[in-house]
Amino acid sequence: MANRRGSTGDRTPPFPFAGAILLAVAISAATVAWARWRFLRVAIEGGSMLPTLAPGDWVVVDRGPFRDYRPRPGDVILGRDPRAPEREIVKRVDHIDLHGAAWLLGDNPAESTDSRQFGALPPGAAAGRVRWRYWPPSRISRVR
């Protein structure tokens, strides 16, 4: 190949699109890593969120694009039981009080243990919002 004046010299790339492909791979890897950080796959146990969520449902929890998730009234959230922090729970946010704490209530209140028993979830204690159900296939839908 001719050595053009002003070019970077004879460092001809071994494959013309190598840079572009490397960039594409890097971007996809970053996207996958980001998506894995942002979205969690969670299995539901128990009936306190019936009929919205049934035991055995698999859902996607959205932790928010960049910063920590902040619960809003009406959201179905993934949080932690204040009495037993190793225990993750799914409930609906009833309201946010003056201190920013989330008061949770099950959609099936007769069979739910929620903020009526354990009080409010402190600010920052909600991991994310339940956005979609992806299993079972017959029940694939958004979760509202």
Partner 1 sequence: MNLVSRILRPSRVAFAHCDGPCGVYDPASARIAAEAVLSMEKKLAALGDGQDLATQNTRGRFIAIKEQQAELAKKELDILWHDYFKPEHLEKYPNLHDTFWKAAKLCSKNKTESDPANGEALLAAIEEVHKIFWATKNRDVAFYRAS
Give, for 34, the enclosing helix (H) or strand (E). helix 18-38
Distance in angstroms (rounded) separating the CA atoms of residues 122 and 101: 5
Question: Could you say which residues in the range 78-97 bind partner 1, by CB under 8 A?
Answer: 78, 81, 83, 87-91
132 binding partner 1? (CB under 8 A): no
Distance in angstroms (rounded) separating the CA atoms of residues 133 and 99: 31
Find the binder of partner 1 among 1, 35, 98, 110 (CB under 8 A): 110
Least gap, CB of 24 to partner 1 (angstroms): 21
CA distances to 24, 101, 110 from 94, rounded to whole Å, are 44, 11, 15
Distance in angstroms (rounded) separating the CA atoms of residues 50 and 63: 23
48 binding partner 1? (CB under 8 A): yes
106 binding partner 1? (CB under 8 A): yes
User: Residues interacting with partner 1, by CB under 8 A?
Assistant: 40-49, 53, 55, 58-59, 78, 81, 83, 87-91, 106, 109-113, 116-117, 134-135
